[in-house]
Amino acid sequence: DLSAATNVNLAAGSGAINTNGNNGVVKLNGGAVNGGQVVNITAGTGDVYLGAMGQGTALTSLTVTSAGSTYLSGAITTTGLINLGLDGPNVLLNDVNLATTNSAVSLAAVTGNAHALSIAAGTGTVTLAGITNVGSLGVGGGQIDFNGAVTAISGITATGTNNAAMTVAGGSTLTSTGGSITLASQNSLTVNAAIDNNAGPVTLTANTDALAEDQDLNIGAAVKGTSVTFAVGGGASSNI
């Protein structure tokens, strides 16, 4: 096992942590972790605990590979990609914000425990598997792909940038029991799974930058809310 009970400042070079051989637990939640380094954690079937990372000096990137659970209890900031739970689930122990500088964010399944999850990827691609019982979900990125169902207590918001598309894949139902569900894409927005908000409005918008391109709002499943708004931002070739 590896456990850091106090602050960790990463020295120059790659921050590789490997307990794969004995499936050891990795705990980096005892203090802040800082340093402009590539951090790769490989834990076999061991659990991984992460607290605040990159809040003083952003990490270069963060990748966690473990068939165990990855427990998140603090904000994580990188200049490069964030890949969490490549083999196992992620579990929120607190409200969590993940931020990159225009780089990709990929999450395996997330158990929210009623905590809020916020992702700010700039122009980076965001890829999400299933997310259950999150307090709220806020996503900002370039291309945004919902590849699993999301259930939230107080709303789901996704805002696309960089003239990139947004997709809700088949089977990836988005459900909230409060707040609003708002999806806004600068390019096309394709919804192939049901969206259901029984206590608030649903707003789906494609082509928010109003460019005169063929950037459509494609609805291929039921959409329910206290009110439902479909819109395209403009452009002669954009359709619903």
Q: What is the pLDDT along the chain (240 residues), one digit of tens a residue?
A: 445 544 556 655 556 676 655 778 888 887 888 989 999 999 889 999 999 999 999 999 999 999 999 999 999 999 999 999 878 899 999 999 999 999 999 999 999 999 999 999 999 999 999 999 999 999 999 999 999 999 999 999 999 999 999 999 999 999 999 999 999 999 999 999 999 998 999 999 998 887 656 678 999 999 999 999 999 876 555 566
Alpha-carbon distance of 73 to 113, in angstroms, equals 12
* pLDDT for the residue 170: 94
Question: Phi and psi (nearest 5°) for 20?
Answer: -60, -35
Alpha-carbon distance of 40 to 89, in angstroms, equals 17
User: Which of 75, 117, 73, 68 has the alpha carbon at shortest distance from 100?
Assistant: 75
* pLDDT for the residue 233: 76
* pLDDT for the residue 142: 97
* pLDDT for the residue 80: 97
Angle at 115 between CA 111 and CA 116, to 5 degrees: 105
User: Which of 122, 179, 191 has the alpha carbon at shortest distance from 151?
Assistant: 179
User: Which of 10, 63, 57, 2 has the alpha carbon at shortest distance from 30?
Assistant: 2
Q: Which amino acid is at 36?
A: G
* pLDDT for the residue 15: 64
Alpha-carbon distance of 22 to 44, in angstroms, equals 8
Q: Which amino acid is at 159?
A: T
Q: Which amino acid is at 213?
A: E
Radius of gyration of the CA atoms of the chain, in A? 19
Residue with tokens 């709303």: 155
Q: Which amino acid is at 197?
A: N
CA 199 remoteness from chain centre:
23
* pLDDT for the residue 30: 79
Give the 3-state secondary structure of residue 20. helix
Alpha-carbon distance of 208 to 166, in angstroms, equals 12
* pLDDT for the residue 209: 82
* pLDDT for the residue 22: 72
